[in-house]
Structure 1
């Protein structure tokens, strides 16, 4: 049975929709805003998280509370019903990808609710078990870049491994210092982004510098240009894709069959697209790892649940939220994260 078929026909009853704005300062120097989406029905509550990056659509959504989704569905029928719902009724998002982010918030809440109403977890519905989840911590190094943030995080947990975002102001001394201090599992070159605050243009010298310094690290999202194509060919077995990946079609459209993919559930928009892509990749021995988008609430649990079921031993960028705080609190859990004893729905 296909993965999606195992949950598509689960009955779903929705009586009420709730929306709650969340906010948190981050170590990257911006205030993250998300919306928790709550669906209630039949004495149960399902939750999802909209990770749209600009704050204005969250503010408009919570002020208006516009969605009347009460009714009887299946998981698949609810997804189909969302096709006719304007999820941004008042403020258009700055990024087109936000339409998938918000849809995922509703679809994950609906799946969570349907599983709870059936007395199941995602693991039991898919006939799988939850395994401990390895994680890495993703961080930027400031402007100008220094190792200070790395030192702060290693003080919290000396065994941490990292996903780092190299930029063109990194030099050989900084990279050598990083290589001597930290275990770096992923270098995210941000070469596939356009029009965002994290864009990094193609920089062959930077690419070679970090690829040589971190020879076991996955190399994520290089820019593909006449200047960088030969380098990408050389390291193709280490190359991973994140920003372009929104479904099976996007994987098939890559310039070569990948060995690695970063799975961020919110990028896929629908439960069907996410599960179909995971299944597609597993059949082709494409290695997967989880990624996050500064989830503040239940969305981070959902990252853990999918990683636990499908890619628990990978360098998952799904660290607990405290690692994103400007000052990490005491007592943060170490990798790997233990699964819950008695999960329900999508909780993890």
Structure 2
């Protein structure tokens, strides 16, 4: 059996002297103010005081307000990453009555665990790649702009005017016209289309739309198709689509979720905050490595350290 990456991290010691919270906010529209919570763990290191940072990307503002009212998790003391993770798994991180949605438990746990990893590495004076015995490699980025209402090519043109080599991951919508799809395809810069078919009860829901899927498959013959909603009404459209073009994001919270997909994936989108614990995340990384599954990453509208950490 291959060694677990988590085993290289589990016994890292860390000392936590204090835990603090800072709400981060941005007004997006009249109806939407995005909140996240910046978690800071402080503790003495060999060269003096050190800090570890994490970000809770929970979407519901009331959940953040309740956290500020009740204060952060009681984590002061001497730990290893493994012992701290076990303690977090036993805690109610959403006092007094739990989160508004279940997935938020993972988001908050990830804020503490990512901050703990950050602090432990700083106290050890070692970067993550050194602890894991890996060599850093360059990362390729894409942009993911909205196309406005009504959708148009203008946001893409504006970015390409500044960065002519930029590539894109776009959220496909039933509001897209065939002419817009034709124009986007002709640019040759779109690499991933997010069909948003795995969301339910959220502002970004995009139910299966046969006309949309037909047009996307017609105009974009080589891009990755993320989270299609493979209902009986549209499943036949994908009969001749290479399976290595279909990728998944929203359903993936664990290795078990990967194994439960309708067919073995070749590519996945990982959002670390969805996994909650470092152990679950690194076990999923190991699974993908063993199965030859490529991974790319995306954000959850982070406003603080979380975006840099996932990159």
* Aligned pairs, number: 304
Within a 5 Å distance, the mapping from 1:206-225 to structure 2 comes to 206-225=212-231
Shift of 1:178: 1.7
Report Cα offsets for 1:74-112 as digits up to 9, x if no partner. 101100001221111146443321111111001100111
With CA pairs under 8 Å and 6+ residues apart, which has the higher RCO, 1 or 2?
A: 1
Q: Distance in 2 between matches of 1:95 and 1:107?
A: 20
Deviation of the 1:210 alpha carbon = 1.5
User: What is the CA deviation profile of residues 240-261 of structure 1, one whole-angstrom value per residue up to 9, with x for unaligned ones?
Assistant: 0000101110001011101110
Equivalents in 2 of 1:35, 1:90: separation in Å? 17
Paired residue secondary structure (1:293): coil
2:205 alignment counterpart: 199
Structure 1 stretches of 4+ with a deviation exceeding 4 A read none
The alignment's TM-score, normalised by the length of structure 1, stands at 0.83
Unpaired runs of 5+ in structure 1? 305-348
Task: Tell me, yes or no, if structure 1 residue 87 matches structure 2 residue 93.
Answer: yes
RMSD: 1.8
Please name the residue that 1:127 is paired with.
133
Q: Decide which of 222, 236, 247 is 1:240's aligned counterpart.
A: 247
Q: CA deviation at 1:181?
A: 3.5
1:40-119 counterparts in 2 under 5 A?
40-42=42-44, 43-90=49-96, 92-119=98-125
Instruction: Give the whole-Å Cα distance in 2 for the aligned partners of 1:151 and 1:9.
Output: 49
Residue 144 of structure 2 aligns to a residue in which SS?
A: strand
Distance in 1 separating the partners of 2:170 and 2:97: 33
Q: Which entry has the higher C-alpha Rg, 1 or 2?
A: 2
Out of 6, 30, 33, the position equivalent to 1:31 is 33
Deviation by residue 1:156-204 (Cα, 9 ceiling, x = unmatched) = 3222111111111212111112223451010000111101000011112
Q: Which of 2, 19, 22 matches 2:21?
A: 19
Superposed CA offset, 1:192-243 (max 9, x none): 1101000011112211212332222100000021122222342222000000
TM-score (norm 2): 0.93
Query: What are the equivalent positions in structure 2 for 1:115-264 lying under 5 Å apart?
Result: 115-181=121-187, 183-235=189-241, 236-264=243-271
* Kept in 1: contact 2:63–2:100 (CA 8 A): no
Q: Using the alignment, how far apart are the partners of 2:135 and 2:307 within structure 1?
A: 19
Q: What secondary structure does 1:159 align onto?
A: coil
* CA deviations over 1:46-70 (Å, ceiling 9, x no partner): 1111011122222232343242211
